[in-house]
Chains A and B, each alone.
Chain A
Amino acid sequence: MLTKIIKRDGREVEFDRSKIAEAIFKAAQVLGGNNYEMAKDLAEKAEAHVEQAHPGIVPTVEQVQDAVEHTLIEHGHARTAKEYILYRAERTRVREMNTRLMKTLEDLTFKDAVDNDVKRENANIDGDTAMGTMLKYGSESAKQFYEMYVLNPRHSKAHREGDIHIHDLDFLTLTTTCCQIDIVKLFQDGFSTGHGFLREPNDIQSYSALACIAIQSNQNDQHGGQSIPNFDYGMAVGVAKTYARLYTKNLAKAAEILLDKVDMEERFKEIKARIYAETGKKPLLENSGEYCALERPYLAELVGEEAERLQQLAIKYAERETERATYQAMEALVHNLNTMHSRAGAQVPFSSINYGTDTSPEGRMVIKNILLAEDAGLGNGETPIFPIHIFKVKEGLNYKEGEPNYDLFKLACKVSAKRLFPNFSFIDAPFNLPYYKPGDYNTEVAYMGCRTRVMANHYDPSREITCGRGNLSFTSINLPRIAINAHGNVEWFFEDLERKVDLCIEQLTERFKIQAAKKVRNYPFLMGQGVWLDSEALGPDDSVEKVLGHGTLTIGFIGLAECLKALIGKHHGESAEAQNLGLEIVGYIRQRMDEESKKTGLNFSLIATPAEGLSGRFVRMDRKKFGTIPGVTDRDYYTNSFHVPVYHEINAFDKIRLEAPYHALTNGGHITYIEMDGDPLKNLEAFESVIRYMKECGIGYGSINHPVDRDPVCGYTGIIDEVCPRCGRRDGEGVSLERLHKLGLYRNLNADTLGYHGDAAEEADRRPNSL
């Protein structure tokens, strides 16, 4: 008789015979059996079998289960044995999942981010903080729960094994990715954040503050980034209101100073209101002539012949003060977006703002000042991390000398050469231009964060617009793996690619069904406040099914370069043949997306995957599977989407020319980067020529990378090799206070980090760097 048994965790416990009998009984029940006595009898036989097979030792659970299987088969219960084996396998799977989850949670709890790749998966969340860890507990548990109970096992398997990657799996049943927020529409008549109602803002400061709140509120409803597609148009409304207010305020001030007439502001406001009611005219930045003419007779009744002089003074000071207020509002926006938190306080919202095409005086003031605020940096001159700025380039508006916003394009290049932002988007690209209608921001392409793009609309072809839309979910294909498995057989490659695309389409569709079953109240801001296209027509308990179709279901891909290497030995930076094959591969996936869109009326699109969280995962699995293959699995990452590999020597212009045709194919989003050597501020002409070449080649979205270093001690920003060019210290070294004072640098009392600053003009401080 057995008395003890060793459990899986190694503990020795009392042997309980009835548990064996119950397991056998349950297996038999599945087949309709109900003879518990027989189960008990078989359990006893199994026990005897264990004692015989392992005499004198305490058996393990596994050994007992083996004996049960053996006994069942020996006594003619083959079908029950089969059920028992299935039951056992299922229990093992559940147990392993539990163990894996517990192990993950243990690592999250006791390992620092430095030692834990999971903690560093999303660089924007600080995995070492309490809230960051709590988010990770939720995220990891959710992923394993979905893998076990929600995902189609075929999709789960393909994801687990690294054939595909289902992005943001932890949000599978919860929400969608991102949205382009139309702030012009949102701010009209005010909005509710879910924690209180905010009135329609009345000056540029409130416009900027509300833009941050809108981004933050929406970030809580979705798992991806948030973008404002019409930042200049939206903020311009606030500038106009500020100017109109400051005009009247300064008119009253001038009356008091020059004519000793006090408390005139209320009277002047009444005049303004009357003129607006009668003619619809208001004081306008750079364009107050018409209004002033209407105002003068009323004014003359109060101040006599000095009316015109007062108006001129009011215009002058209102313009100056509006400019300053706009700068301060833009500065506050940049500061806010770098410090405000969402998602339980652990993550700064991923924010993007698009601007550059509003040619009104107010819009121009916004663009100029957001660029200047970015240029100035944060409190100690640090380079802002958020928002991502995207300058929209458009011929006729800002691309050529003489065009109204040409000066702002030049300024954008200069700021980007210092701060890495703005990036540049190109409305004239052949695939963006067809949607464009002059003066209608809704038809100007806007990009999201690192690259997402929405434009075509198969769900509602009359709404091929930017605002109120975004990506719903995306899933990426591991291209190198298919290529390795193809063993040089291109035909087989395409056959397997077809299977992978089929799988992704099926998975995206199943996820869409889950997303579409949600109700408006599940997205209190995104849907509740009408941010998402057409959602304003829905009630809180309506399902979002009817409006969600405006979003995109997107397939992405990783490692075109490694894929080509594996298939034909060269990547697209190395041979024209590889480039042609690359275009054929990406073109094939795009064609499938178009066909699927036509078939379903949903927006299937193709994205050049940004590889967040994914760059290392695929290659790690493939190296384990296939070993180290030169040019394919021999680095710690697969190359981002269609990019020419970062390690490949290539001239900037060739790189742009090679990558441009992929922009036309990847309608769900794309970006091309150029790495520029040295300090581009010293070579602005070259910087601009790279941007211009992108436009000429039909790139949709691009940016230039260059080193941006900063010494937190003296505040120098630029390139620092070994020694700081301003204060002369080396990394980690001290510098004497005397030297800092000699350089005109004094402690910045407002600084929350160590920082000595003066008015030392940074530009003057820059030295030509050795090339």
Chain B
Amino acid sequence: MSEKEMMIGEGIKFERIRRITGYLVGTLDRFNNGKRAEESDRVKHSVSGSLEHI
């Protein structure tokens, strides 16, 4: 197999940085169950019509 055909990155996951209780984390693995549940429940806050507010 030539170097060009070499596949890179198998098994490597995307990092997903999130803010939990004020601190940034790259993975939720090290968080306890309550905090993980809180993160997954979050809904987005619409900012439409934002310019009228300022």
The answer on A and B forming one complex is yes
The residues of A with any CB-CB pair to B shorter than 8 Å are 113-114, 117, 120-121, 123-124, 126-127, 350, 382-385, 388, 420-421, 449-451, 610-613, 615-617, 619-620, 635-637, 640, 646-653, 655, 671, 673-677, 683, 685-686, 689-690, 692-693, 696, 703, 705, 707-713, 720, 724, 729, 731-738, 740-741, 754, 756
Q: Given A707-B16, A731-B14, A735-B8, are A636 and B37 neighbors across the interface (CB < 8 Å)?
A: yes
Q: Which residues of B contact A696 (CB under 8 A)?
A: 53-54
| Whole-angstrom distance between the Cβ of B51 and the nearest chain A Cβ | 6
**What is the CA–CA distance of A714 and B54 in the complex, to the nearest angstrom?**
39
Residue from B3, B6, B43 having most chain A Cβ neighbours under 10 A? B43
Check B29–A114 contact: CB distance below 8 A.
yes
Provide a sorted-by-A list of 19 A–B residue pairs whose CB atoms are within 8 angstroms: A117-B32, A121-B32, A449-B23, A450-B21, A611-B21, A616-B35, A636-B38, A637-B34, A637-B37, A646-B38, A647-B42, A649-B43, A651-B45, A651-B46, A676-B45, A731-B13, A734-B7, A737-B4, A737-B6
Give A655 to B11 CA distance when docked, in angstroms: 40
- Additional 13 contacts, C-beta under 8 A, given A121-B32, A616-B34, A696-B54: A113-B29, A385-B23, A616-B33, A640-B21, A646-B41, A652-B46, A675-B44, A675-B45, A686-B47, A705-B18, A735-B9, A736-B6, A736-B7
Asked if residues A450 and B22 are in contact (CB atoms below 8 Å), the reply is: yes
**Interface contact B50-A123, CB-CB below 8 Å:** no
| Chain B, Cβ-Cβ closest to A691 | B54
| A720-B19 Cα distance, complex, nearest whole Å | 17
* Chain B residue with the shortest CB-CB distance to A124: B23
- Contact, CB under 8 Å: B51 / A685: yes
B22, A388: Cβ atoms under 8 Å? yes
Q: State the majority secondary structure of interface residues on A.
A: loop
Tell me if A689 and B51 are in contact (CB < 8 A): yes
Whether B23 and A350, one on each chain, are in contact in the complex, defined by CB atoms closer than 8 angstroms, is yes
A724 to B26: give the CA distance in the assembly, Å: 17
Could you tell me if A673 and B5 are in contact, using CB atoms closer than 8 angstroms? no
C-alpha spacing A693/B48, complex, angstroms: 13
**CB < 8 Å: which of B12, B32, B53 contacts A732?**
B12
- The CA of A420 and the CA of B17, in the complex, are separated in Å by 9
Contacts of A705 in B (CB 8 A): 18-19, 42
Q: How far is the CA of A613 from the CA of B23 in the complex (A)?
A: 13
CA distance A712 to B15 in the complex (A): 7
In the bound complex, residues from chain A placing their C-beta under 8 Å from that of B53 are 653, 689, 692-693, 696
Task: Give the residue name and chain of the A residue nearest to B30 (CB).
Answer: A123
B24 adjacent to A385 (CB under 8 Å): yes
Q: How far is the CA of A636 from the CA of B36 in the complex (A)?
A: 9
Please measure, in the bound complex, the distance between the C-alpha atom of A732 and the C-alpha atom of B12, giving whole angstroms: 5
Contact partner, B50, options A385, A686, A720, A740, Cβ 8 Å: A686
Q: Flag if A677 contacts B37 (CB, 8 Å).
A: no
- B40 to chain A: closest CB distance in Å? 9
**Inside 8 A of A450's CB, which chain B residues have their CB?**
21-23
User: How distant is A244 from chain B, measured CB to nearest CB, in Å?
Assistant: 37
